[in-house]
Each structure stands twice: as C-alpha cells, then as structure tokens.
Chain A
Amino acid sequence: MYSRLTLAQTSQIILSVDNVSVSYGFVSALREVSLEILEGEFVALIGANGAGKSTLLETVLGIQRPKSGTISYMNQDITLKPTEWIVASGISLCPEGRGILPEMTILENLFLGAYHNRGRIDQSMSRIFEIFPILQQRRNQKAGTLSGGQQQILSIARALMARTKLFMLDEPSVGLAPMMVNDVLKIIKKLCDEGYTILLAEQNAKKALQFASRAYVFETGKIVIEGVSQELMKNELVIQAYLGV
C-alpha cells in the first residue's frame, strides 16, 4: 500500500455528517445524526442490528437520500451527489455480507474495483497480490468458492483497487470465526496506519472498541453516546448494553 499522509500533519475533517435524517417511507431510520471524521482516523459505529449504522453508510454513499441534513466530504457537499460520483472521489463501501460477485473470478472482482481507476490497474493489482498472496493463488477461482474471511479480504482488496481515501466497512465480522475476525481487523488497522481513513460499523462492540480510536453508539437511529474508545470501554451504559460476554 502506498504510504500517504502521516498523522503528524494537521488532520482535516474528511467526512462531516450534519443533522441527517433518513426514512424508509414512514419508518424513521436515522434521526438528526451528526458526526465528524478526521483524515486518517479509525472511527467505529457500534449498536444493535437495525440501529441505523448501515443506513448511515449507505446514505454517505448516496444509495439512500436524507430527507434533511447535509453530508460533506473533503469540504464538498455530497448530499445529493450520485453514487458513482461519490465512489469516484474516494469513498468505498465494503457492504454487509462482503458484496463480492460470487459468479465472477477473484481477478474479475478486483478488475471491477478499478472501474474508476483504470489508469493504474496493473500496478494496483500487483500491489494487492503482494499484500494478499492468497488472492493471487486463487485469482482464477470463482469468488463464491472463497471462505467468509477470504471474501472479506477480497472486498477490502477490491476497494484498494480504486483511489479510495475513506474506507467504510459494514459488519466485516459477521459470520467469521473469532480468529478470522482478529485477522481482518488487524488488516483494517494496518490500512489506517498507512494513512487511510476508516469508518467501521460493527455489532461486535468489544472488537470494534479494541481497534478503533473513537466511536459513536447508535440506538434506534440516534447517536446516544460518543467518545474515545478507552472512555467508552469504561462507560457503565456501554458495558451493560454492548460489552457483555
């Protein structure tokens, strides 16, 4: 991975969500949600299933439209921009369930990742294969034959094929064995160390707080608590609701 800025530089706000509300018909999914992410940060969104984390990620990507509020990326208003524009400017989503194309080969999946980065396909591909040799070994196999953990790695690798600055990951730990969960999160942490910005939505609050530096806690569409991970791990309410064994 190419090293970008280091955290020693003054970090600017890369993503700013301002009072965003989203509804599916009459059902309110997000209610006046605001958050801010600095470049190079590793931020987690924790909360139960259905609390609004996925909706927020999809809204940032332009798949859902907020009925009120604004979203800014790199100081530009992206609230009403089409998904292809948002992806082309550097936001990638690894959706819940990995979002890979099972009928296509690993190579084809990676190829598609470079849809908005066609000038650098060969270099990006060789770099990906260096970092993830398993993908090179299996490059002509159908992506559906991979295990859950390998698919998650493919999903991340595919996002790396684009000129991604902000990685959004939705529940990467779902369905993975605990050891695999650790491996995947370590990879994500490594991405952050290299300068990428990470926004991670996770049901597994324990793991999320272990790796992320900051977190927002979602409950029925609202942010109820936010703070630095160390603090949240000691917070009574968080422990009771989310950090139980």
Chain B
Amino acid sequence: METFIAQLMNGLAVGSIYALLVTGFNLLLLVGGVIQYAYPHIVVISMYATWLALKVSGGNLLLSVSAPLVIATALSMATEPLFRPLTKRGATNHTFIMSIGIGMILTHVMAKHLHHGMPISFPENLASHKAAIQFGIAVISGPQMYTFFGTFIAVTAFVLLLYRTMGGHAFRAIAQSPFVARILGIPLGRMAILSYGIAGLLGGVTAVFLAMALGSAYPALGNTLALKVIATVLFAGVGNLGGGLICGLILGTAESLTTGYLPGQWSNAVSFGMIMVVVLFRPAGLFGIRT
C-alpha cells in the first residue's frame, strides 16, 4: 500500500511535468502554428543554465530559478525567425522537420560543450529528497510536493491568462480560426511571437521542477522527453489543451506505478503501449483533435 502511495505521488509529480511540457507544446502548435519537437530540448538546456547559475552563485536560489526562465524564453523566441518562412506559407508539417534539426543542434551543444557531455546533478538544497510528509515507510518528498503544487499554480496562471485576459482570448481565437481572428484585427504575427515567449516562460518553470524531480540532467534527456511529449499529445488529441493536461498526469502516473511494480523498462512499454491502444481505437486521441 505504501509503495502504491509513494509511486502515485511520484507519478503525479512526474505527470504534472509532462502536463506542463505538453501545454507549452500545444500553445506553440495552436497559436505559433509550429510543431516544436525541440521544446523539451530548450527546457533541458535551461536546466543546465540552472545548474550553472547554482555553481556560479554558490547556491543562490533566486538566481538559479530566474536563469532557466530567462534562457528558456530567450531560446524559444530565438527559434521564431527560423520557423517564420515555413509558417508564412502554411507548411506546418515542415516545422516538425525544422524542430528535429533544432533539437539535434541543442543536444549536440549539450553533449560536446557543456560539462563535457557528462550528466549534471543538482545539489541537495534544490533537489532535496528529504521526507516532507511521511506515512508509514512511504514518504512524499519536498520536491514532489513543490512540483505538483508549483505546476498546479503555473497551469492555473496559464488558464487565467487564456480565459480572463484579452490576449488570452486572442490566443484562443487564433487557435480556433486564424481567419476570424484576423478580421477582428488581431495581429497574428505578433501573437505568434508572444506565444513563443509564453511557451518559453512555461518551459523555464518546467526546467526548475524537472531539476527538483529528477535531480540530474543529461544531453539525451531532450530526446527522451520529446518522445514522451509527442506521444502524450497523440494520446490526448493534438492541440487539446485540457486533454493534454489530464493525459500528462495519466501517463506520468502510469509510468511511475509501473516502475514501482514491474522491473526495468516496463514503464516505457506501458506508457507507449497505452498510446498505441488509444491511437488504434481512437485515432483522434482520447479527447479529440483541436487544430
């Protein structure tokens, strides 16, 4: 029973990180009009930025939390001009190829130039696994709690942005019908750039939680996460923001529970297996596609 709770808690923490990643991804797809495979890579590089900031500042938390926010936002916005020639002519599928390329470049930078390609680890005060709550021999650690609640706050803020601000309404209008958005006088180009910025900011937040939850990072993490994100998005239904959030949690929990009870790589088998089943019987995903 305690294993179950421990794994469930872990699953929710991991799941909320997937949910955040998927949300940023969907935002870029719906408003930016791009399939940004390299989004998790930007997040992972921001984790490196956190690590660097911690080293350089000697453990200054404020600096090490701001660093990923700045790097992720800047990197994300820097990719916008790369995609622009493609989005201008509506070549959404080609943006996938472009983003794979960007992912390869970022992975290469991490593998060859950052910390000699060796994994980085985050010190205790950021990734403390000291028990925060205990029941029996099961513990919920500080990072898990911070991650889960922190993600909850980030997602709530994002949803408030979407539903209570004019800009958020404009984002949703663009997602539903770029033509109608245009005739309302919504500046599509500027909104797309803004979406890169917000996705980047969200990515920076995700980097902090990832650093807490995983305790380490390595160059290949970008690709690992990217596969999970694409799979989650297909599972939930491409572009479906709400569905993406829920399915991120579902997949994270499924993975974690499997790790607790089955050996080795079964967790991957279970999560990709679930995706296969859904895509076979409901190709549009559990919650349906919203392009």
**A residues with CB within 8 A of B:** 61, 63, 82-84, 86-88, 92-93, 95, 99-104, 108, 111-116, 118, 158, 162
Give bound CA distance, A86 to B173, whole Å: 19
Whether B180 pairs with A101 at a CB distance below 8 angstroms is: yes
On whether A100 and B182 interact (CB within 8 A), knowing A115-B166, A115-B170, A118-B166, the answer reads: no
The answer to whether B185 touches A88 (Cβ under 8 A) is yes
**By DSSP majority rule, is chain A's interface helix, strand, loop, or mixed?**
helix
Q: In the complex the two chains form, is B183's CB within 8 Å of A63's CB?
A: yes
Residues of B within 8 A of A114 (CB): 166
A100→B185 contact, CB < 8 A: no
Q: For the A-B complex with A95-B183, A112-B184, A162-B185 known, give 20 more contacts whose Cβ atoms are closer than 8 Å.
A: A82-B187, A84-B185, A84-B186, A87-B185, A88-B185, A99-B177, A99-B180, A99-B183, A101-B176, A104-B169, A104-B172, A104-B173, A111-B166, A111-B169, A112-B169, A112-B170, A112-B173, A112-B186, A115-B170, A115-B185
Contact B177 A101 (CB under 8 A): yes
Q: How far apart are the CA atoms of A92 and B176 in the complex, in Å?
A: 20
Given contacts A108-B169, A112-B170, A112-B173, contact A100 B183 (CB under 8 A): no
List, sorted by A's number, 26 A–B pairs whose CB atoms are closer than 8 Å.
Answer: A61-B183, A63-B182, A63-B183, A83-B182, A84-B187, A87-B184, A88-B185, A95-B183, A99-B179, A99-B180, A100-B180, A101-B173, A101-B176, A101-B180, A103-B176, A104-B172, A104-B173, A104-B176, A111-B169, A112-B173, A112-B186, A113-B184, A114-B166, A115-B166, A115-B170, A118-B166
Report the minimal beta-carbon distance from B159 to chain A, rounded to whole angstroms: 14
A115 to B179: give the CA distance in the assembly, Å. Answer: 15
A84 to B186, CA, bound (A): 6
Nearest CB in chain B to that of A162: its residue? B185
> Complex Cα distance A83/B166, Å?
18
B275 to chain A, nearest CB (A): 26
User: Which single residue of chain B is at the shortest CB-CB distance from A62?
Assistant: B182
How distant is the Cα of A158 from the Cα of B186 in the complex, in angstroms?
14
Q: Give the Cβ gap from B44 to chain A, nearest Cβ, in Å.
A: 34
* Complex Cα gap A63–B180 (Å): 11
Chain B residue with the shortest CB-CB distance to A111: B169
Chain A residue nearest to B191 (CB atoms) is A84
Total cross-chain contacts (CB, 8 A): 55
Closest residue on chain A to residue B183 by CB atoms: A93
- Chain B residues numbered 147-206 whose CB sits less than 8 Å from any CB in chain A: 166, 169-170, 172-173, 176-177, 179-180, 182-187
Can you name the residue of chain B whose Cβ is closest to the Cβ of A58? Answer: B183
Which residues of A sit under 8 angstroms from B182, Cβ to Cβ? Answer: 63, 83
Q: Is the CB of A83 within 8 A of B172?
A: no
Compute how far the CA of A95 lies from the CA of B186 in the bound complex, rounded to whole angstroms: 15
A118 to B166, CA, bound (A): 9
Question: Which residue of B has the minimal Cβ distance to A102?
Answer: B176
Q: Is the CB of A116 within 8 A of B176?
A: no
Across-interface contacts of B185 in A (CB, < 8 A): 83-84, 86-88, 115-116, 162
Complex interface: chain B residues within 8 A of A88 (CB):
185
Minimal beta-carbon separation of B184 from chain A (angstroms)? 5
7 shortest interchain CB distances as A-B pairs? A87-B185, A84-B187, A84-B185, A99-B180, A93-B183, A116-B185, A101-B176
Q: Which of B170, B180, B185 has the most CB of A within 10 A?
A: B185
Q: Which of chain B's residues have a CB closer than 8 A to the CB of A84? A: 185-187
Shortest distance from the beta carbon of A111 to any chain B beta carbon, whole Å: 6
Give A185 to B23 CA distance when docked, in angstroms. 44
Cβ contacts under 8 Å, A104 to chain B: 169, 172-173, 176
B163 to chain A, nearest CB (A): 9
Q: Which residues of the other chain, B, contact A111 by a CB distance below 8 angstroms? A: 166, 169
Bound complex: CA A118 to CA B187 (Å): 15
Closest Cβ of chain A to B289, distance in Å, is 13
A112: chain B residues at CB < 8 Å are 166, 169-170, 173, 184, 186
Q: How far is the CA of A116 from the CA of B185 in the complex (A)?
A: 7
Give the shortest distance, in Å, between A113 (CB) and chain B (any CB): 7
For B184, the chain A residues whose CB sits under 8 A away are 87, 112-113, 115, 158
